[in-house]
Each structure stands twice: as C-alpha cells, then as structure tokens.
Structure 1
Amino acid sequence: MRSFRIFLMAVLFSIQTQSQSKKYKIHTIAFYNFENLYDAVDDVFTNDDEWTPNGAQHWTTEKYHQKLNNLARVLFEIGTPENSNAPTLIGGAEIENRDVLEDLIKEPKLQPLDLGIIHFDSPDKRGIDVALLYQKKYFRPTSYSNIPLIIYKKEIPKKEEETEVLDEEIEVKREDKNRVFTRDQLLVSGFLEDEEIHIIVNHWPSRSGGEKATSLFREAAGKLNRKIIDSLQQINPRAKILTMGDFNDGPLNKSIKVGLGAKGVKAEAAEFDVFNPFEELESKGFGTIAYRDSWNIFDQIIMTASLVKSDFSTFNFWKAGIFNQPYLIQNSGQYKGYPLRNTLAEAGFSDHLPVYVYLIKEILR
C-alpha cells in the first residue's frame, strides 16, 4: 500500500506539472533606424550628394555593401535568444529608396527569410523614408498607405483686403516656403498568422534647430498618430495596433505623453489607450541613442491596450527590449561606448540601437 501511494502521488505530480507547463508561439516585432542607408549612386531627385564617392562621406559601393552586410546581421539576430527566429516584422527608417531595401533582403543572412517590402517615397528633404519588412511566411498585408504629416514653420498672416484668389496664392506660397517636409507615417494592415494587426512606422521630425524650437512638430506628429489609431478603433474597438519608430523624443516628452497619449504603466491603459513599455526601460537608465554622454530612448514600440492582456489565447504583448550586443558598440576612441556608426574610414551599423517587442500566443493541445 505504501508503494502504491508513492506511485499515485508521483502520477498526480506528473499530471499537475504537465498542466502547468504551457507552450507558446512567439513573434518578434522590431524597429531599427538604419542611419543613412544610401547607395553610392547620385540621384538627381534627392539630396544625396554627400553619400556618393565624391561627396563629403566618400561613400563607395564597397562601403555600401559592407553597410548592408552589417544591417543584415543585426536584423537576423534581433530578439535572440528568447526567439530563435528572426523578427517577423521590421520597421525601418533613414532609407534612401526601395532599391536599397531590395539589396538588403538579398543579403545571405536575410535571403532565406523571404522578406517582403512595403515602402513609399516621402517628401523628406534628405530623401529618406520609412518602410516595413515582413516575413511572408507569417504576415500577409491586406492594405497599406502613407499618411503625410503636414506642418509649417510659421503661419503667414492674412490681410483683410485680400480676395479669395490671393488667399489661394498665399497657401501656395506657404506650401513652398514654410512647410517642413518630413517623413510620412506608414500604415500597414494585415494578418499575423490568422489575426488582424495594424502597424504604423514613424520617423518624426528631428531636433535640428533645438529641442524646444522643434517640439511642436513632433507634437503634431503625435496627434496625427493618435488620429490614425482613433480611426482604426472606430472601425474595430478591439483593433490590435502597434506604432513604432524613431520618434526623436523620449517616452516622457509631450509628443508621446500628450500628443499620442501613451501610458507607461499597464494598469493605467484603459480600453482605447496606448501603452509604452519603453517608459519603464528609460526609468532604469537604458537608451537607444547617445548624445553628449547622455542616453535617450528615441526608438520605441507602443501598442494599444488591446495587446496588453494576461490572456494569451490570442497574440498579446509579452515584453520589450533593446538589442544591445557588444559588436554594435564602439570600444575605443572619443565615442567609446556609443553605438558604432559610419565613419569616413568604414561603414558601421547605426547611431541608434534597435528595439523589439515579443507577441506570444498559447499553443492549445
């Protein structure tokens, strides 16, 4: 009897352990600012002279292909070791054109992933765009569009005596002289396996000219982002939406906290709110970009509350991270400890570090 009781207890313990061990599907969603991903060919329609063999950067075909090789290594490894598979979705910024993306996905590291490309040319004055790469095996896009961010340096005052025709002339004049031509916001909708998901890829206006002087531009970008999210939630209140990018602002800046309305604590994110897991990472001293020995998290992935649930019967957020491998960091010189970027001598990686989140779903037996 004693032996039988021991045996029975062992069986029950085994059953209980098996019921507690759950298995999950996992997808890595990533964003990376590629920092000046230009080819070495002069494009008469964009301001890329700096990135040519005779330009200030002495940018050659050899350097270009080394840059592609560097980026491919990073994109293949983001999210490891928790997920052995490369990211399913990759948002990118500072991309010259579609051709450089076609070259990138043909790199030996990335070619087996069979990556698709969604890209539009934007009106940015440097000719740089945002894009989305995706593994065709896991993600099927159903619609995509580029949504312009229309902002101006200042308003042109209107005189009372002007006619409607003159008003139109003023609008044209304002468009030409005062508009800040910046990157569009890329909206992609599709199915992650069998679940609908929406992705917004961003590269908000820079701080060139000063943080305070340019804050209004990024606040406008945050409001446009919120408007896109609101429109998707009107169609489906439970829509799963991820907005990612180089926001050129940190999690606590007004563009993120007010314009977009991001919450930094899961419990504070109500039904139609958005949650920013990178606010906690910033509070712990992490960063994605360094300037004057100070780190900031400008690169973030923010999501609607519909993705922040403890129920993993569908794909939901698990955790976020910054991909910060030693090979991405300079180990000597004036900028020791900073991200390893391009120099006149050789192609680097980027002045930004990539970020990622995991979406997981329980595998039901």
Structure 2
Amino acid sequence: MANKSYFSKKNTNYHTIAFYNLENLFDTQDDPNTLDEDFLPDSEKQWNRKRYENKIFKLGTVISNIGFSKARKSPILVGVAEVENQKVLEDLVSSKHLKNKNYGIVHYDSPDERGIDVGLLYQKEHFEVVHSESIPVLVDSQRGERDYTRDILWVTGILNNEEIHILVNHWPSRRDGAESTSYKRITAAEKNREIISKITAENSNAKIIIMGDFNDDPSSESVNTHLVQNDLFNPMEKLLTRYRGTTNYRSQWNLFDQIIFSHNFHKYEKGKHSFSSASIFDDDFLKIYKGRYKGKPFRTYAAGKYTGGYSDHFPVYIRLQLN
C-alpha cells in the first residue's frame, strides 16, 4: 500500500496555473532606453550582483512550490510581471529550484518607461506555444500625453493536447490616485475584451485564461464590469478578506493579482481541463515574521532599505484537473 500511495502522490492529474508579480526584477546593467537607474550597483539601492542572485534564487524557490502540495509538481504555466527583460527570465528558469523543470519563456519588450514587462513561463513537457504576440494598451495621461504602459501578452498553445489562450496583463498603476487613474485600467480591460472577441470569432468555444496584476480588486469597475462579463468567471472574488489578499497598502489588503477564465472550464469532458480550485500562495516563508508589519509580503526593499525578501505581492494560482 505504501508504494501505491507514493506513486499516486507522484502522479496526479492536477495542474497548477499561476501568476506572480516579481516586484522589480531588474538586472544590474544600465539600459540607456529605460528608467532603470534605481537598480544599478552605484544607485542608492546598491542593486548589485549578490542581491540580484539572491532575489533570483528566492523567486525560483517560490515558483517551484506554488500548488505543489496537491499537484505534486511545480506550476505548468506561470504569468509574471515586473521583469526587465528576457535575460532575467532566463536566469530565473536556470536557478536552482527551476532548472530541472524545463521551463520555456515567452517575452516581449514593452514600451513601459521603466522597462518592466510581463512574460509567461511554461513547462515544455505540458505546453507547446502555437502563437504569441504583444498587444499595446494605448492610454493617455491626464495631460493628454501618451502613458507608456505594459503591453498585454497573448499566447495560444496546446496544454496537454487541449488548445488554450492566455492573456497576461499588468495594468496601469494607481500611483496618482485610484479614482483619477481608473480610466486607464478600464481601457486595459476593454483591450482584453477586444482580444477575447477576436478569439471567440474564430472559435466560439475557445478556452481562455486572463491573468495579471490588474491594480484593481475583483469588485472594481474595470474588472467586475468591463472585463468579467457573462462569458467569464472570476474565482478570486471570494479570496479577498480583511485579513487576506495579495498586496497590502497602509494595512489594507488588496487582491490586484487575479486569474479569470472562460466558463467552459467548468465543464467536465474527458481529455480536457476543468477548474478545481483557486487560492493565494501565501505560505509563512513569504511573509514578514515579526514586528508591526507581521504577516505582510516580505519584499526586497522596505522604506528604501534592502531587506532581502521576495516580492511585495503574493502569487495567485488556479488548479485545473485533466479529466
């Protein structure tokens, strides 16, 4: 019996799909085309090789563990945000805890002024990329100038013999106030709807997953009204409470990081994937363990000081069952 349970634990038909904002995953080289001056060895942050390698190691530890306890394997798809370039993702998938997982990378440079992009990591054993492209989100600032924000990454691929479309997002921030910038996130939501319409015009039964850091909660207008309509389901709605979320600002939890999908993931069909559960990956090792910020995400810098943590966001994930 021991052998049998061991093998059943080793081989489950659960697959984890995750999203993680990696919080300023910059290399240590100066890119003359972006505002990356804060993340250089001679900057105030003193972002050097040792600190960079420590962050890469730690993020690899996190990713390898997301959903592992039930699926018995690391996530087969991981959307990421706040990465500077392809090279940092190559370093990440080559790190100690990920190098044996054989992750491929889909990444495009975004026009974001700081040079931060989104990307998708995928286990080649389970997923094959058929098509990918970067879709610009065109928004203007309140002064009427173009606000260069992150593109949407659209990836179509074959997940365990089933075609799936994935949209990876990082919507405009709330830096100048949530209300005064909400129109930008509504524009990003509408751009996602355009892509969804394009997909479903070709295949009305297409399976679609939208993930990202939306800089808005599940109940916000951009997500709840403009993005999630009759064809989509947001399992993250029930996860945000007074005590739990993915990022914390002034002691208030938000759940900006979300994974949303088309309703056909609720359907049971042999050889296809169906939705099992959704959660926040907020194990204790990802949290500040003492003091006034206890329980909040353990980040790389806090109040300008290097603390050597992971990210200011917790990852989110959904679990799919291959029927």
TM-score normalised by length of structure 1: 0.82
Q: Distance in 2 between matches of 1:83 and 1:254?
A: 34
339-348 or 298-307, which moves further after superposition?
339-348
Q: Counterpart in 2 of 1:330? A: 288
1:78 aligns with 2:66: yes
Q: Distance in 2 between matches of 1:114 and 1:261?
A: 33
1:318 partner amino acid: S
- Asked if 2 retains the 8 angstrom alpha-carbon contact of 1:64 and 1:347, the reply is no
TM-score normalised by length of structure 2: 0.93
Q: Distance in 2 between matches of 1:89 and 1:75?
A: 10
Q: Counterpart in 1 of 2:267? A: 309
SS at match of 2:179: helix
1:352 partner amino acid: H
292-301 or 146-155, which moves further after superposition?
146-155
- Asked if 1 retains the 8 angstrom alpha-carbon contact of 2:299 and 2:307, the reply is no
Q: Counterpart in 2 of 1:4? A: none
Q: Distance in 2 between matches of 1:28 and 1:293?
A: 30
Q: Counterpart in 2 of 1:125? A: 113
Structure 2 gap ranges (5+):
1-10
- Asked if 2 retains the 8 angstrom alpha-carbon contact of 1:67 and 1:347, the reply is yes
**C-alpha offsets along residues 93-129 of structure 1, whole Å, 9 cap, x if unaligned?**
0000101011111112101011100000001011100
Which of 275, 297, 313 is matched with 1:339 structurally? 297
1:74 partner amino acid: V
Q: Distance in 2 between matches of 1:196 and 1:284?
A: 37
Q: Counterpart in 2 of 1:6? A: none
How far did residue 24 of structure 1 move? 6.1
1:144 aligns with 2:132: yes
2:108 partner amino acid: F
Q: Counterpart in 2 of 1:101? A: 89
SS at match of 1:217: helix
1:348 partner amino acid: G
SS at match of 1:49: coil
1:238 aligns with 2:226: no
Q: Counterpart in 1 of 2:317? A: 356
RMSD of aligned Cα (Å):
1.5
2:217 partner amino acid: G
Q: Percent identity?
A: 44
Structure number with larger C-alpha Rg: 1
Q: Counterpart in 2 of 1:219? A: 186
Q: Distance in 2 between matches of 1:286 and 1:331?
A: 15
- Asked if 2 retains the 8 angstrom alpha-carbon contact of 1:24 and 1:361, the reply is no
How far did residue 30 of structure 1 move? 0.3
Q: Please identify which structure carries the higher strand content.
A: 2
- Asked if 1 retains the 8 angstrom alpha-carbon contact of 2:15 and 2:75, the reply is yes
Which of 269, 272, 291 is matched with 2:249 structurally? 291
Q: Distance in 1 between matches of 2:73 and 2:274?
A: 18
How far did residue 313 of structure 1 move? 4.7
Q: Distance in 2 between matches of 1:330 and 1:285?
A: 15
Structure 1 gap ranges (5+):
1-22, 156-173, 263-268
Q: Distance in 2 between matches of 1:333 and 1:64?
A: 26
Q: Counterpart in 2 of 1:228? A: 195
**C-alpha offsets along residues 282-328 of structure 1, whole Å, 9 cap, x if unaligned?**
25853101111111110000001111224565111111010011110
Q: Distance in 2 between matches of 1:103 and 1:24?
A: 29
Q: Distance in 2 between matches of 1:25 and 1:115?
A: 19
1:202 aligns with 2:191: no
**C-alpha offsets along residues 328-352 of structure 1, whole Å, 9 cap, x if unaligned?**
0001234222100012334210000
343-352 or 78-87, which moves further after superposition?
343-352
- Asked if 1 retains the 8 angstrom alpha-carbon contact of 2:12 and 2:72, the reply is no
How far did residue 142 of structure 1 move? 0.4
- Asked if 2 retains the 8 angstrom alpha-carbon contact of 1:201 and 1:244, the reply is yes
Q: Distance in 2 between matches of 1:325 and 1:274?
A: 28
